[in-house]
Structure 1
């Protein structure tokens, strides 16, 4: 808010301007050229530095100042006293104020060397509609000083202010060095929404990206968990038809639900006294509270509060909307009852939406369940030109988790933090499952050893090993372990080694038909027992490894 101090007038200028008496705290004058007595206005920075400025220059540079100064009362001329001029208190500090004023004054442009100053000057330029300041900062952003050392920050700033050209320049710089993208961490990434980070990731993967700052699809496509009208309106039914209700809850699609204040207050003491306010513009006989949810969502919420037959959730979208509303209105029992049905709506098609919903609600267990499902979705092939910017670019194909290429509209309204945490979790999950290096406690074929001693020379007997390195398996088992790891890369789960699976049959059959070097005796039961134990230990090692992967919320 701007505050105008005037030594002769106490009249309010406009709604966001307040006239106050000059403060008694000390102030300091800004350096030249902002110390001239022929100035007709004072901009007072937040750290109490006074900039004596010329109104006509501000008016030419900024429609914001033009509108504000046209209604500013003028004091009597007093060129020798600062307080003889209108004083405008602004929220920017002196460093930021001096920088943006030098951009609009007929002086040398300031040398913006620090990222923090660039951010604050740009924010002031946008706030005060100083197009010349915004243009100068945009040019500075993509200078080598910032683009080489702070590409992620430049990308984030560009996305925040919808600067597509600057975002693209930063993306090209990031592609050359992969600043933080492989680990999904880095200063500045927290400022992006999930959709912006997704598009940056697609660019890094070599895909064509037409826009970075906003979705190329319909920008009005909201998250189904947040949309205010996801269903067709329904007719209000008993017990919400009145006439004994003492207040009305009105849905966003204009359906009136007559309810009892006592029941609502029991369900949530905060709902009517905090989350909702009565509509004072409606002259109805009883209070009306406007809700943002549609009639389907409101009906389900209320039926979960009332001792009546409950409504079924028609879709995952409706289920999510009810949970978000229950949390907003602090309907704790409604949230508890709805939470029981969580697994009903977790499917391969809804994993991403349900993951973001669980994160929003702070449900760690449910978020982990969704993340595990997403980690098991397999991989996709990506063909990338590397380096893309050179004429002799060569294409290479590699695989990445399927989640890297999955997009839902709600990502435009969600921070990139939970999305990047999900990608890191998927990477960790897959790495854990495919990095098993040692299997131990395997049965030595003692029965085969004894039979061989009775029937022939002991030198011909080599019992199965009690330990195996899966990183460097015995040569006679190399192909088998290579196949297992290949399948784990596609689906990082111990399920691929369960009894009856193709890999299980393949491994058992191979061990029965192929012996370790030097072992001639054939004992099928022992062969099967050893092979089955190898697979069991492998599966246990996978389960243990992935259980140690942590999902950050």
Structure 2
């Protein structure tokens, strides 16, 4: 038996009240409809509908709220002509702002936005995240400016100026996020907003914006209300409809649903109406498998998110193995050709951990720095951050392999030379070590992908050999024995083999740290 509700303190205990708002923790706030209706179109619409009378004629109608008493009290104080409670921390502002947005309260939102703006100097990262979740563009932009200023100042204390100094700000940004609590900050923020913050901090973008700008200006056409797929036979006519997650009704046959999709939910028993937690585009592909045994998906194979949704539905609903193999094979191909989007789609649609991990592993061959896809707008920032962290950890592992070989270069070459002659160490060509050092620096800041080939990083065996021999010829007498040139080649070939084995080894053991 639940505990009886507790009356709220003044001013929400007045006998003139005509409505009770009951918080999630069972505190009753006696309120006035006229004030709530003026403050919130949501309440105005609700009160305009016919109201059911409470069992006790003397009792006030009760509206159960999902907000706790602390949040609800702070929100109501903003609506009433009384002294307002000062909110100076993002932790206090955020839940009240979320509730004000939920109930479309324009004036409280404006007041809370002002409070949030005032909190920037105390916690810019949390203020930025709260502004992003609330759609407060101006506050989010000013918070991003403060974040960039602090990150730049912090990096200047520890980093030496170099050509990639702006990119080098990103590890400092991550450190700041980790100090504040990655999950706490990024919870509810889109991957697109987080991408734009990173781009702004590293000065790849002149301004920060919550949304994608011109991309969002292109409005998608609303889906049709009802679809009869073209592959359905003309006779017998469809006798069932499937309501999809995008509100579209797709026509089909009861017998096909019973045989091929026995796990589908029945919305209206006996009336042939079913429900499926998938968009209509994905359902059409599923029905193609059911009716034809193959999918039309290759014709629009770039819809990786739709394909991931098909797989998720197929895994939940019992299907013939032959039908399931068709989208699975196409998915495997998409992972190879576009692993970044495949990773985001797999995480969004709740595919198995192994699907997410395999896609993430394939992304190691591509550079994430500055890489954008519209799917980031629907992805969670933490999903994107986990992939960034995975790349960071893999890059650090590869940097270790490169650094070790770069340090060993001169020792290996000198050891080979000393076998034959007492050759001075000062005459050794150092170009290969410098090339490795440059590749290491670029890899550490994300200019190279962790699984980039040695050729892409400019240290494939032919490049160091040519550079070392050129340096050797320019610094040594013309009568220098040819055997030394051959020794340089031998050492560099050995180094190339060691690098490739070492990089394969560290990447094979790299794993994406998934969080639930």
* Fold in common (TM above 0.5): yes
1:188 matches 2:185:
yes
Cα distance in 1, alignment partners of residues 116 and 248 from structure 2: 45
Please tell me whether residue 107 in structure 1 is matched to residue 99 in structure 2: no
Determine if contact 2:432/2:464 at 8 Å carries over to the other structure: yes
Task: Name the structure 2 match of 1:313.
Answer: 298
Aligned to 1:34: 12
CA contact (8 A) 2:33 2:47 kept: yes
What secondary structure is seen at the aligned counterpart in 1 of 2:29? Answer: strand
Confirm or deny that 1:211 pairs with 2:163: no
For 2:70, which of 77, 82, 95 is the aligned residue? 95
Equivalence for 1:496: 454
Q: CA deviation at 1:192?
A: 0.7
Alpha-carbon distance change, 204 to 31 in structure 1, aligned in 2, over 3 angstroms? same
* Counterpart contact for 2:239–2:251, Cα < 8 Å: no
Task: Give a deviation string over 1:142-185, Cα, whole Å, max 9, x none.
Answer: 11xx3233322222222222111121122112112249733575
Aligned residue in 2 for 1:160:
133
Contact 2:431-2:468 at 8 Å conserved across structures: no
TM-score calculated relative to the size of structure 1: 0.67
Instruction: Output the CA distance in 2 between the equivalents of 1:50 and 1:302.
Output: 51
Distance 1:62 1:307 in 2: 52
Task: Indicate if the aligned counterparts of 2:124 and 2:146 stay in contact, CA closer than 8 A.
Answer: yes
Root-mean-square deviation (Å): 4.6
Question: SS at the partner of 2:28?
Answer: strand
Asked whether the equivalents of residues 301 and 326 of structure 1 are also in contact (C-alpha less than 8 Å), the reply is: no
Q: CA deviation at 1:270?
A: 0.7
Deviation at 1:433, TM superposition (A): 2.4
In structure 1, the residue matched to 2:428 is: 476
**Distance of aligned partners of 1:228 and 1:130 in 2 relative to their CA distance in 1, 3 Å threshold:** closer
The aligned runs of 1:30-429 (5 Å cut-off) are 30-69=8-47, 85-143=60-118, 146-178=119-151, 181-182=173-174, 185=178, 186=182, 187-206=184-203, 207-209=205-207, 211-213=209-211, 215-218=213-216, 235-236=230-231, 240-243=233-236, 256-258=251-253, 260-261=255-256, 264-271=257-264, 274=265, 277=267, 287=272, 300-302=285-287, 304-305=289-290, 313-318=298-303, 321-329=306-314, 330-331=316-317, 333=321, 334-346=323-335, 350-359=338-347, 360-362=349-351, 367=356, 370-371=359-360, 374-377=363-366, 402-429=367-394
1:405 Cα shift? 2.0
Query: Which has the larger Rg?
Result: 1
Q: 1:438: which partner in 2?
A: 404
Distance 1:38 1:505 in 2: 88
TM-score between both structures, scaled by the size of structure 2: 0.71
- Give secondary structure in 2 for the equivalent of 1:51: strand
Q: Which residue of 2 aligns with 1:19?
A: none
**Partner Cα separation in structure 2 for residue 150 and residue 115 of structure 1:** 7
Distance 1:124 1:520, change over 3 A: same
Question: Secondary structure of 1:188's match?
Answer: helix
Measure the CA separation in 2 of the matches of 1:369 and 1:307.
30
- Work out whether residues 101 and 109 of structure 2, in 8 Å CA contact, stay in contact via their aligned partners in 1: yes
Does the 8 Å contact 2:360/2:387 carry over to 1? yes
Distance 1:318 1:531, change over 3 A: closer
Assess, with a 3 A threshold, how the Cα gap between structure 1 residues 446 and 158 changes in structure 2: closer, same or farther.
closer
- 5+ residue gaps, structure 1: 1-22, 282-286, 378-401, 453-459, 465-473
Point out where structure 2 has 5 or more consecutive residues left out of the alignment.
152-169
* Residue of structure 1 in register with 2:157 after alignment: none
How far residue 258 of structure 1 moved from its aligned partner, in angstroms, is: 4.5
Task: Write 1 or 2 for the structure with the bigger share of helix.
Answer: 2
Quick check: 2:53–2:61 contact (8 Å CA) kept in 1?
A: yes
**SS of match in other structure, 1:107:** coil
| Alpha-carbon distance in structure 1 between the residues aligned to 2:436 and 2:66 | 62
Write the distance in 1 (CA, Å) between the matches of 2:327 and 2:237: 28
